[in-house]
C-alpha cells in the first residue's frame, strides 16, 4: 500500500479531510501568533533597554523634575510607558508628599498591569491550540476507525488486513494533531516565561522609581 501523503489524502473521507483542514488552520493561527509575539517582545525589550539607559542618567542625581521634563515618550518600550505613567502622575501630583507618592504608585501599578495584559495578547490562541489539537486529531482517528469497521461489516470479512488501510489513514489525523500541538505548547511556555520575567522587571523598576520619588520629596 502507498503511504504517501497524497495517497492518504485521496483515501480519506470527508470528515477526516475536514479534521486535517481544521488543524491546518489552527497551525497557521498559532504560527502567526508565535512570530508576531516574538517580534513585539524583541522590539519592546530593545526599546526598554535604551529608555532605561537614558532615564538612569537623568535620575542618577535624584532630580525627578528634570526626568519628567525630558520628554522621553517615543519608542520607549514597556518599561518607558510604565515609568512615563509615573512621571505623568508626578507632574500633576499635589505638594503633599504622601498623596503624591501614593498617586505615582497607583499610576505605575496600573500601567504595569496594562503592559503585562498587552504582552499576553494572543497567548490564549497558543494555549487553546496546544490543548485541543491532539483531541481534534483523536476525533478524526476515532471516526476513521469506526468507518473502517463499518466497511468490514459491509464486506462481510474480517481480519487485520481488511481494516489496516483504513486505520492507518485514520491515525494520520492523530499525527497531525500532535504536530500542531507540540510547537504551540513549546511556544506558549517560552512566551509565557518571557511575560512573567518582564512582569518582575516592571515591578522592580517601578519600586526603584518610587524610591527616587520618595527621596525627592524628602529633600
Half-sphere exposure of 79 (CA within 13 A, CB side): 25
Average pLDDT over residues 180-190: 95
Q: What share of the chain is helix, strand, coil (3-state, %, to 5)?
A: 85, 0, 15
Confidence check: pLDDT of 58 > 60: yes
Confidence check: pLDDT of 201 > 70: yes
Residue pLDDT, tens place only, 164-183:
666 776 788 888 899 999 99
pLDDT at position 158 is 55
Indicate the pTM of the whole model: 0.83
Query: 10 pLDDT band (50/70/90 cuts)?
Result: low
**What is the distance between the terminal CA atoms of the chain, rounded to a whole angstrom?**
85
In the chain, how many domains are there? 1
Question: Across the chain, what does the average pLDDT equal?
Answer: 85
CA–CA distance, 56 with 219 (Å, rounded to integer): 19
pLDDT at position 166 is 65
Residue pLDDT, tens place only, 29-57:
999 999 999 999 999 999 999 999 888 88
- Domain carrying residue 11: 5-218
Amino acid at each position: 500500500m502507498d503511504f504517501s501523503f497524497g495517497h492518504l489524502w485521496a483515501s480519506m473521507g470527508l470528515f477526516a479531510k475536514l479534521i486535517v483542514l481544521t488543524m491546518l488552520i489552527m497551525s497557521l493561527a498559532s504560527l502567526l501568533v508565535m512570530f508576531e509575539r516574538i517580534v513585539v517582545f524583541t522590539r519592546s525589550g530593545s526599546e526598554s533597554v535604551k529608555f532605561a539607559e537614558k532615564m538612569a542618567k537623568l535620575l542618577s542625581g535624584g532630580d525627578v523634575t528634570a526626568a519628567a521634563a525630558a520628554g522621553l515618550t517615543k519608542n520607549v518600550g514597556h518599561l518607558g510607558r510604565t515609568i512615563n505613567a509615573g512621571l505623568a502622575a508626578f507632574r500633576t501630583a499635589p505638594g503633599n508628599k504622601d498623596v503624591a507618592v501614593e498617586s505615582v504608585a497607583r499610576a505605575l501599578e496600573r500601567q504595569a498591569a496594562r503592559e503585562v495584559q498587552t504582552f499576553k495578547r494572543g497567548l490564549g490562541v497558543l494555549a487553546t491550540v496546544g490543548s485541543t489539537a491532539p483531541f481534534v486529531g483523536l476525533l478524526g482517528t476515532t471516526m476513521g476507525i469506526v468507518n473502517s469497521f463499518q466497511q468490514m461489516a459491509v464486506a462481510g470479512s474480517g481480519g487485520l488486513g481488511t481494516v489496516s488501510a483504513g486505520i492507518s489513514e485514520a491515525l494520520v489525523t492523530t499525527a497531525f494533531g500532535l504536530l500542531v500541538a507540540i510547537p504551540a505548547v513549546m511556544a506558549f511556555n517560552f512566551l509565557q516565561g518571557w511575560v512573567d520575567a518582564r512582569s518582575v522587571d516592571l515591578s522592580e523598576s517601578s519600586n526603584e522609581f518610587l524610591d527616587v520619588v520618595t527621596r525627592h520629596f524628602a529633600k
